[in-house]
Every structure is written in C-alpha cells, then in structure tokens.
Amino acid sequence: MLFTPGSFVLPPVSKMRKELRRRVIIILAITAIGIYLVFFPHDRRPRLRDLTSWSQIKANIAENIKLGLDLKGGSHLVLWVQTDDAIRTITDNNVLEAEKILKKEGIPFKSVKATGLGQITVEVSDGSRNPDIEEKLRDDFGPGWERTRSDGGAVVFTMKESEMNDIRRTATNQAKTIIENRVNAFGVAEPTIQLHGREQDHQILLQLPGIDDPERVKRTLNAESRLELKEVFGDPHPTKEAAEAARAGDPNKMVIPLKERADAETGQPASTSYIVVAKTPVVSGIDLRGADAVPSQYGGHEYKINFQLKPNGAAKFEQFTSANIGKRLAIVLNDEAKSAPTIQAAISDRGEITGAFTKESAEDLALVLRSGALPAKVVYLEERTVGPSLGADSIRQGVIASIVGLVLVVLCMLIYYRGAGVNATLALIVNLVLLLAGLAMLGAVLTLPGIAGVILTIGMAVDSNVLIFERIREEIRNGKVIVSAVDTGFKRAFLTIIDTHVTTIVSAAFLFVFGTGPIRGFAVTLAIGLIANLFASVYVSRTIFNFILTRSGQRVESLSI
Amino acid sequence: MIQLFKDTHIDFIGKKKIFIAVSVALMIAGGISVWLRGFNLGVDFAGGTMAYVRFKQVPPLDQIRKALGEQKDASGKQIIETEKVTIQTISGTGNQLLIRLPQIRGSETQEGGIDAGKRAIIAALTTLNDPSQTGKTDLNSRGVADIRDRLIQLDPLGNRDESLYGRIADRIVDYRDKERSGLIDKVSDVPLDVQGLGDSDRQKLRQALEQNFTAGNFNVGSVEIVGPQVGSELQKRAIYVTLAALVGMLIYIAFRFEWIYGVGAVIAVFHDVMITLGIFSMLQKEISLTVIAALLTLVGYSMNDTIVIFDRIRENLKLRRRDDLIVIVNDSINQTLSRTILTSGLTLLSVISLYLFGGEVLNGFALALLIGIIIGSYSSIGIASPIMIWWKRYQEQQIAAQRAAARASKAKAV
C-alpha cells in the first residue's frame, strides 16, 4: 500500500495517480454491480423503461428484494404438535395387541389397560405366570418399553424416555410433512414451513405470503382425517342408550353416531341414529390410495367424495364385503358414521362418502384424506396476519422516513464539514447501494424493522466519517501537513471504527438468534449495512481524499473540511 | 471551518456527583413507576389479540365495547370481558383503531382456539354495519376465498365457471387493497375489467353484486394473536438475550481493553437500558418485540461512545504517563466531545425522522432508540469514565499499600 501509516516520504505523484486509478476502478465496479443487483431485472435484458419509468423501477426493486410478510401481506402461524397424542395411540394399539397375544398363548389375566401416558398394566390374580407375560409382551412391544413392576397383582410396562422422545420427534416431522402437503395444495407462493424453536418445543412455523385470511387454511391444517370402514352389528338404533344396550358391554364393539344427510328424493329428513360397530376397522386411512371431490348424484351444488383403496386394503375389503352381503357397512370419519349402506355385492377397491358437503368442504376433506392423517393433533400458538393495504402503507411510511433522515443527515454533514461533507455523502450513497445489493444477493428478507435498520445505518454510517474527520481536523489544528493529517486521521480512527462496528454487529447477532421474522430482518439489514459501511467509510472515503490530494499534482495546502 | 467544540476544558469528572445524582433520580423514578404501574406489555409478551381496524366512519367506542361484550361462544358464555378491552385511536388518522383483547388462559387448546377473539371482533363490528345490509357478504371484511365461494354459490352468469369467479374475486380484492387502502366505498365502484367477461355478463354480475354484496364499514388491516404459552416464553427469552448480549459486550471490551473498562462500559449500558425501560413504564408506552429489538441495538450502539472515549483515554495514558489520571480522563473526554455529540446528534436525526414519519408499528422502536441514544451518550461520559477512575484509584491504593507493607517488612528485617 503506498499510503502506509507513518510514512512521511511522499511517493511520486505518478505512482499515487496509478494507485488512485486502481482504487476508483474497484469502487466503480463494485457500485455498478450493486446497482445492477438492485435496480435491474435479472431474468431478461434491460430495456430503456428500466431507467425511465418510475413504476418499472419500483417493480424491479420489488422483484429483486424479498419483502417480508409485514410489508407484502400474509399470515404467520405457529403450530404446536400435541405429541402426547402419538404416544397415546401407540399405547392403545399395544394394549389391543397384548390382549390378543395373551389370549392366544392361553395365559390368564384379569385385564389389560393403558394406565397412563406410555404405561400399560396387566392385572393378574397371581404372579405365577408373570415371567411368561413379560417374555411374550416384551417381544411384541419391542426395546422401547421396559417392565417396571411385576408382583402378585400386576405386571406394568412403561415406555422408555428415549423412546418417547423418538416418537415425539417423529410425530413432529410427520406432521410437518403432512402440513406441507396440505399447504402446497392451496397454491401459496413461496410458503415457509419449518420446525420452530427448540427441539423439545415440537413447534412448526408457517409463513404464507399473500394469504391474509388464513381461516380456510387453518381449518384444513388442523382437520382430522381418520377414515375407517367398519362392520356394523344390527340396524341403527334411535338413541344412544338403546345402542349401548345392544352392545351389551362387548369390549370389541363400540357405539358411534350415524348422521345421515337429508334425502331430497325420498323426502327423508336428516337424522341422527346410533349404530354398534366393531372397534377394529376393516379398512382405514392407511389403505387409501386417493380421494376426490366430485359433484354428487343428488344434484344441486352438493358434492361427495370418491375414494380408492390400495391393493392390500382392496383385498381386505373384498374379502369382507363378499362374506357379509346383506349386512351393513359403516363409513366412519373421525368416529362419526357418515353413512351405513347395506352391502349388496362384493366391492374391492373403491367407495364413496356422501353427506351435506359443499364444493369447498368436499375438496378440503379430500385433500385432508389424501395427505394422510396427522399423527397427533395440532394446536395454534401464534397467529399474525397483515393485509396488503396495511403492508403498502408501511412501505410508504418507511420510505418517507428514510428519505427525510437521509436528507437531514446529508445537510448537516455538508454544512459542518463543507467539502468533506460531499465526501461523506458519496460514501453514504455507496453504502446504501451496497446494503440493498447485499439484501438482494443474499435473498434476505426486508421487513418493516428492516427499513428501520436502513435508517439507523444512515445515522451510524456518518459516525465513521465524523470520527475520521474530527481526527483530521485535530491533526491540522496541531500543525500537521495536510497529507499526513489525512493519513493519521484514517490510521488512528481505523481501529476505533472496527470496535464500534463489531459491538453493534454482535448486538445484531444476538437479535438474530432471539427473533423471528421481522426482528431477524432488522438484524440482517443492520449487519449488512455496517459491513458495507466499513468498505464505504474507509476505502471509498479515503479514495476521494486521495483524489483531492493528488489532483493538483503538488502539495496541497488546505483542505475543505 | 465550523467548529462547535473547539478546545473545551469542561471538568466532567469533577461534576460526577451531579451525574450520579441525575442517574439515581431517573432510576428511582423509573423504579417507582415500574413498581406501582408496571409495564404496558404488548401482546407479544402478555398474550392476547391486537387488531388494527380501518373504518369509513368510526362508530362510538362504547358501542364497539358493547357489541364486543355481546359476543357469545358455543355454550352461550360471554367471550370477551369488556373491562379488559383497550380501544385506542391511532394518532394522525381519523379512522383507524387499535383494538386489544387480553389473552384467555388455556385458550390454545380450547374449543375456539386462540383466534376466538379475532372472530369475535369481526362479528361484533359486523353488527355495527348498516343494518339494512345484513345478510349480504361484506366485500370489505372478507377474504378472496370467501368472496369467490359466494360468487360460485350464486352463479350469476349461470356458467359455473369457477376460475372466472376466482379471477373476479381477485380483481375485487386487489382493487380494495391496492387502490382503496382496504375500504371500498360502494359496491358499484368495483371494477369488472376481467378477461372473459362480455358486456351483458358484466351487467348481470353488477346486479348480483348489488343484491348480494355490501361494502361494509370496516376493514381489518392486521391482527396479531399470541397465545399465553408463547407470551411467557418470549418474556424469558427477551431477558436472557439482553443479559447474554451484555455479557458478550463485556467479554469483547475486556479483550480489547482491560476488563475494568469492560465493567465500566457494561454498567453504563445496563444503566441506559434500565432508565429507558423506566421511562417506558412512566409513559406507559407499549413494550413489544420491536422495542426489545431497539434495546438490544442500544446495547451495541451505546458501547460505541464509550469505546471512543476509552480509546482516547488509553492513547493518552500511553503518551502522558506521568499526568494525573483525572486530568487525562477529562482531557480525553473533552477531546472526543465534538465527535461524541456529533455522531449521537446525527443518529438522533435519523431516529427522529423515524419517530415522526415511520408509522405506528415502529413508533415504540423509535422512541426507545431516541431515549436510549441520549441517555447513552450521557452515560459514557458520566458513568463509564468515573467507574473506571474509581477502580484505577482503588488499584493504585492497593499497590501503594502493598509497597508500604513491603517497605515496612524490609525495614523490620534490616
């Protein structure tokens, strides 16, 4: 570097000029790239309009810099996966399996029950067969369970902590995938779906740009979609009590409501009755291959859902229907029977769900069935929506505040530092261009606090210049030669500038870790602005000074500062 | 050249008693306010529902309150406790309100979910619409999907062309949000310049719109709903992150200077944050996530002034070993005074611009920075430096005492 600190031997002007030319080229090149990144379209050739039409310029900027939800409009949702549900399901399944196994092996027991989250109790009359019970059940439950009690009254199995965590984690990931499928079906542009918070939080973050009324999406996301086809015992009963009496306490059967739609043709009104069905379904959601919403034959604007089964399920279904002609089959959705037609002939791989479905509810349900059942329910913790009109307002206010701030700061610099003020202004402009270019290049999102970050950068950018200029003034006051005054000014101020930038960037780093969405946008904008400032206030500013100092070709006697 | 602070010789350290007195007074005032009135925590921390609503004509606030109180849930219970509702007019506009409902404990897993409040607000405000228009779909408060589905249901063109109705709904909402700031004046204003619509179609459509749709009185611009669980979580995180940032600063400064410089700087910044929070409590200004962001930024920014002064002190200490510590520190402060005031002043200018023109959402943020920057400059001079001097004096005393003890024992030995 020709201008090494402390060197009072001035190099020949020609060398200074060459160095200067190199610097100017670097600065112009970087600035040009920056301007291109921000103001020009990237996917086509630039046209004259890009320079002359104000609306085209605005459109280009909006294309290149991603806008946050608070500026563009959209919804931000945080969901909490109720992972306990997943554990409960597994526990319940294991209870049923345990009963079957113990019966098959002829091992006597009083009852098998789920007695807590991830806890199964086998009640026995005496502990003589406990080792057998343990052996058989341990094989079935797998290594995730351990026997925690074995005595004359009961054998108790508990799920291990590690197994529980595994299940919770899997449930959350599965839920995330299913939610992704459901959200994508709505055709949202560039949605964000990701795990949120710490691992043990089991939270999912959804950002849906452009959707400022998320009601329909929320309903679909949370919808349960347990479809089951079950064997019906007997005919429908008019009341729950009658159905329960018919069930006669059989643990393998259950009573569910049957809600049938009004039939316009037969004039039958909508009715609710109760049917006794088998607990275990013949075919369930896993066996679904597809589901579609189609207009129903009942005409009008009613819809129904056609579903298709996979080969495995189709085989089971065919076996069942051919063996049970004349009996009823219940089509059960979330433990509520939608219809219970009599089996006329063997059916294999398709069926339909009828009900008072509108096009929208039928499509939503088909979507939910297709995407698979959520392993656990999902609950909303946070919901923030911004409409596009408010977003546009925010942009406008932010831009006005930025321009006013910029004008005020530039005016002050010009008045106080005169010629050097121009220097600072040029450096500031380069700084802002690089800041916006940085955002465009990194694909970082500009949020409303981010615009505040730009305004803050304007104020802090001049900080570096003030530091340098004040030092130069001091050196001149102390009688130093202009060139060495400038030299010393930059040198002495440099380390302090680094210090001040590092502390604020560290703050921004903490903010990035702490915040989501808008706050992160602020942190990123501030950090990029400060880094760009390092380049602008030291390199660019220095180059401009050098330009002034070498212009006349001789020693410069005074400096406009 | 214009110079505002040429060769000042203010005895800052000598005035330290005044500075400390002012700081203590501010802290006590803030402390009392926090104790008596607490903080005005935003929905981010206290949970709840906050809605920005724009009106054609703002209904009387007590009517709004009454309508909110009349909202009932599925079991007939009142959803909203009207005493806890805050309704605030947004300054600078004649027609925008901020409606805030407190969180309902355990509401995430309840029937209604956390958005029960939002739906209650929309339902309540709908009852205050023009009663002659009840039953019609409100173009101003419904989303695209609802408007499209209603059009499909009505099928005024008789062609069941759902994608066409979708495009019509898109155009209507676009017009509403981009050209009318969210509020359509009259249904007949709506443009129907959508591809695929002939003139007779347009007529039929207009008729259908007039008969079945209305341009209601209000439009919900944005809603923030935060469940109780998230709220308390964020509170904890805010405190942890601020403390972590302070520790981070301490380490960095201890690394660049000596650790006592670090302690002085951190105490000064901590003092700044405390006073800013205290003033927020006194003014009962809402503390939201963006305000905490401003405070964290402050932690970093306030260090800047302190670092500049410390830098100069360190430089002078090297050059002028023999001079009295107090003199050196005073001189350092005076030398950097112009720089300190100028940069704070310039940053303050941009923040003032943000405060005045930046809009409602950033208002708290700007205020926090405004207060923080002023207090920050003051504390670098009045707090950080005296602490450092005090410590150095203490150290010197220790060294002198040790030396005296050594000499005494030597003398004894001799």
CATH code: domain of residue A65: 1.20.1640.10
Distance from CA of A72 to the nearest CA of B (A): 11
Average pLDDT, integer, range A449-478: 86
Contacts of A541 (CB under 8 A, 6+ apart): A423, A424, A427, A464, A465, A468
Q: What is the pLDDT of residues A489-542, one digit of tens each?
A: 888 888 888 888 888 888 888 888 877 778 888 899 999 999 999 888 888 888
Does one domain contain both A397 and A370? no
Q: How many whole angstroms from its chain centre is CA A522? A: 18
Distance (Å, whole) CA B192 – CA B215 = 16
End-to-end Cα distance, chain B: 66
Q: Which residue has the higher pLDDT, B41 or A152?
A: B41
pLDDT of residue B243 exceeding 50: yes
pLDDT of residue B31 exceeding 70: yes
* Secondary structure of B8-56 as H, E, C letters: CCCCCHHHHHHHHHHHHHHHHHHHHHHHHHCCEECHHHHCEEEEEEEEC
Cross-chain CB nearest to A503 (options B229, B252, B361)? B252
Q: With an 8 Å Cβ cutoff, are B241 and A510 in contact?
A: yes
Q: What burial class does residue B5 get, using C-beta atoms within 10 Å of its C-beta: 0-12 exposed, 13-18 middle, 19+ buried?
A: middle
Range of the domain at A405: 13-72+387-551
Distance (Å, whole) CA A488 – CA A543 = 15
CB–CB of A270/A263 below 8 Å? no
Q: With an 8 Å Cβ cutoff, are B339 and A467 in contact?
A: yes
Q: Which residue has the higher pLDDT, B364 or A482?
A: B364
CB–CB of B119/B80 below 8 Å? no
A273 lies in some domain: yes
CB–CB of B108/B114 below 8 Å? yes
Contacting residues of B for A493, CB less than 8 Å apart: none
CB–CB of B191/B175 below 8 Å? yes
Average pLDDT, integer, range B372-382: 87
Residue from B354, B363, B377 to probe the interface with A (highest A Cβ count within 10 Å): B354
Q: A522-548 as b/e, with b when 16 or more CB fall inside 10 Å?
A: bbbbbbbbbbbbbbbbbbbbbbbbbbb
Q: B288-315 as b/e, with b when 16 or more CB fall inside 10 Å?
A: bbbbbbbbbbbbbbbbbbbbbbbbbbbe
A516 lies in some domain: yes
CB–CB of B246/B271 below 8 Å? no
A20 lies in some domain: yes
In which band, very low, low, confident or very high, does the pLDDT at A271 lie, cut at 50, 70 and 90?
confident
Q: With an 8 Å Cβ cutoff, are A508 and B300 in contact?
A: yes
Contacting residues of B for A218, CB less than 8 Å apart: 115
* Summary mean pLDDT of chain A: 83
Q: With an 8 Å Cβ cutoff, are A397 and B223 in contact?
A: no
Distance (Å, whole) CA B245 – CA A508 = 10
Contacting residues of A for B148, CB less than 8 Å apart: none
Q: At A472, list the tokens.
A: 């130069």
A203 lies in some domain: no
Q: With an 8 Å Cβ cutoff, are A387 and B152 in contact?
A: no
Judge whether A84 is closer than 8 Å to chain B, CB to CB.
Answer: no
Average pLDDT, integer, range A169-189: 86
Judge whether B79 is closer than 8 Å to chain A, CB to CB.
Answer: no
Average pLDDT, integer, range A410-420: 87
Residue A328 per-residue DSSP state: B
Average pLDDT, integer, range A306-318: 84
Residue from B222, B255, B273, B355 to probe the interface with A (highest A Cβ count within 10 Å): B222
Question: Residue B283 to residues A226, B180, B366: CA-CA distances in angstroms?
Answer: 53, 35, 14
Average pLDDT, integer, range B320-349: 82
Does one domain contain both A404 and A419? yes
Judge whether A508 is closer than 8 Å to chain B, CB to CB.
Answer: yes
Does one domain contain both A63 and A37? yes
Cross-chain CB nearest to A515 (options B226, B293, B357)? B293
* Secondary structure of B41-105 as H, E, C letters: ECHHHHCEEEEEEEECCCCCHHHHHHHHHCCECCCCCECCCHHHCEEEECCCCCCEEEEEECCCC
Distance (Å, whole) CA A81 – CA A201 = 9
Enter the pTM of the model. 0.79
Does one domain contain both A399 and A375? no
CATH code: domain of residue A150: 3.30.1240.20
Contacting residues of B for A499, CB less than 8 Å apart: 256, 304, 307, 311
Contacts of A315 (CB under 8 A, 6+ apart): A348
User: From B184, which residue of chain A is nearest by alpha-carbon distance?
Assistant: A389
**Domain final residue pick, A162, A179, A213:** A162
Strand partners, A193: A206
Contacting residues of A for B304, CB less than 8 Å apart: 463, 499-500, 503-504
What pLDDT is attached to residue A2? 46
Residue with tokens 């037969």: A266
DSSP H/E element including A422:
helix A419-442
pLDDT of residue A10 exceeding 60: no
Q: How many interchain CB pairs under 8 A, A with B?
A: 246
Q: Rg for chain B (alpha carbons), in Å?
A: 31
Does one domain contain both A402 and A545? yes
Q: Which residue has the higher pLDDT, B55 or A482?
A: B55
Residue from A186, A435, A507, A561 to probe the interface with B (highest B Cβ count within 10 Å): A507
The CA-based dihedral angle spanning residues A130, A132, A137, A139, taken in that order and rounded to the nearest 10 degrees:
140
Contacting residues of A for B220, CB less than 8 Å apart: 387
Does one domain contain both A450 and A541? yes
In which band, very low, low, confident or very high, does the pLDDT at A432 lie, cut at 50, 70 and 90?
very high
Distance (Å, whole) CA A21 – CA A28 = 11
Judge whether B299 is closer than 8 Å to chain A, CB to CB.
Answer: yes
What pLDDT is attached to residue B6? 62
* Summary mean pLDDT of chain B: 83
Distance (Å, whole) CA B5 – CA B14 = 19
| Dihedral of alpha carbons A457, A463, A468, A469, sign | positive
Contacting residues of A for B143, CB less than 8 Å apart: 211-213, 215
A174 lies in some domain: no
SS3 A379: strand
Beta strands in A281-434 (DSSP E): 283-284, 288-295, 303-309, 329-333, 336-339, 350-357, 378-386
Judge whether B115 is closer than 8 Å to chain A, CB to CB.
Answer: yes
Judge whether A530 is closer than 8 Å to chain B, CB to CB.
Answer: no
Smallest Cα–Cα separation from A246: which of A209, A277, A286? A277
What pLDDT is attached to residue A341? 81
Q: How many whole angstroms from its chain centre is CA A537? A: 38
Does one domain contain both A230 and A333? yes
Contacting residues of A for B223, CB less than 8 Å apart: 383-385
CB–CB of B230/B107 below 8 Å? no
A194 lies in some domain: no
Q: How many whole angstroms from its chain centre is CA B223? A: 16
CB–CB of B116/B142 below 8 Å? no
Residue B364 phi, psi (nearest 5)? -65, -40
Distance from CA of A258 to the nearest CA of B (A): 22
Does one domain contain both A417 and A461? yes
Q: With an 8 Å Cβ cutoff, are B356 and A416 in contact?
A: no
Q: Rg for chain A (alpha carbons), in Å?
A: 36
Smallest Cα–Cα separation from A332: which of A279, A374, A292? A279
Distance from CA of A349 to the nearest CA of B (A): 31
Judge whether A514 is closer than 8 Å to chain B, CB to CB.
Answer: yes
Q: With an 8 Å Cβ cutoff, are A514 and B237 in contact?
A: yes
What pLDDT is attached to residue A466? 86
Smallest Cα–Cα separation from A357: which of A410, A293, A415? A293
Q: How many domains does chain A have?
A: 3
Does one domain contain both A394 and A540? yes
Contacting residues of B for A526, CB less than 8 Å apart: 297
Judge whether A496 is closer than 8 Å to chain B, CB to CB.
Answer: yes
pLDDT above 90: percentage of residues in chain A = 8
Judge whether A210 is closer than 8 Å to chain B, CB to CB.
Answer: no
Smallest Cα–Cα separation from A214: which of A83, A115, A75, A110? A75
Does one domain contain both A56 and A100? no
Every domain of chain B and the residues it spans = 13-42+228-409, 46-224
Q: At B173, list the tokens.
A: 């909402």
Q: With an 8 Å Cβ cutoff, are B347 and A515 in contact?
A: no
Judge whether A166 is closer than 8 Å to chain B, CB to CB.
Answer: no
Judge whether B10 is closer than 8 Å to chain A, CB to CB.
Answer: no
Average pLDDT, integer, range A403-427: 89
What pLDDT is attached to residue B279? 93
A135 lies in some domain: yes
Question: What is the CATH topology of the domain spanning B13-42+228-409?
Answer: Multidrug efflux transporter AcrB transmembrane fold (1.20.1640)
Q: At A487, list the tokens.
A: 């030299």
What is the pairing mode between strands A203-209 and A350-357?
A: unpaired
pLDDT of residue B105 exceeding 60: no
What pLDDT is attached to residue B21? 87
User: From B48, which residue of chain A is nearest by alpha-carbon distance?
Assistant: A382
CB–CB of B53/B219 below 8 Å? yes
Smallest Cα–Cα separation from A82: which of A207, A176, A171, A158? A171
Cross-chain CB nearest to B293 (options A211, A502, A522)? A522
Distance (Å, whole) CA A317 – CA B372 = 72
In DSSP notation, B344-374 reads: HHHHHHHHHHHHHHS-STTHHHHHHHHHHHH
Average pLDDT, integer, range A59-66: 82
Judge whether A400 is closer than 8 Å to chain B, CB to CB.
Answer: yes
CB–CB of A399/A54 below 8 Å? no
pLDDT of residue A435 exceeding 90: yes
pLDDT of residue B106 exceeding 60: no
Residue with tokens 């200067």: A20
Q: Can you state the angle between helices B363-379 and B325-357, rounded to 10 degrees?
A: 170
CB–CB of B221/B53 below 8 Å? yes
Residue from B346, B355, B356 to probe the interface with A (highest A Cβ count within 10 Å): B346
User: From B109, which residue of chain A is nearest by alpha-carbon distance?
Assistant: A379
Q: Which residue has the higher pLDDT, A264 or A483?
A: A483
Contacting residues of B for A77, CB less than 8 Å apart: none
What pLDDT is attached to residue A3? 46
* Secondary structure of B301-330 as H, E, C letters: HHHHHHHHHHHHHHHHHHHCCCCCHHHHHH
Judge whether A411 is closer than 8 Å to chain B, CB to CB.
Answer: no
Could you tell me what percentage of chain B is helix, strand and coil, using 3-state DSSP and rounding each to the nearest 5? 65, 10, 25
A428 lies in some domain: yes
**Domain final residue pick, A162, A184, A206:** A162
Judge whether B178 is closer than 8 Å to chain A, CB to CB.
Answer: yes
Does one domain contain both A515 and A371? no
Distance (Å, whole) CA A121 – CA A115 = 6
**Domain final residue pick, A114, A142, A162:** A162
Cross-chain CB nearest to A397 (options B335, B345, B358)? B358
Does one domain contain both A294 and A407? no
Judge whether B308 is closer than 8 Å to chain A, CB to CB.
Answer: yes
Helices (H), A478-540: 482-514, 518-534
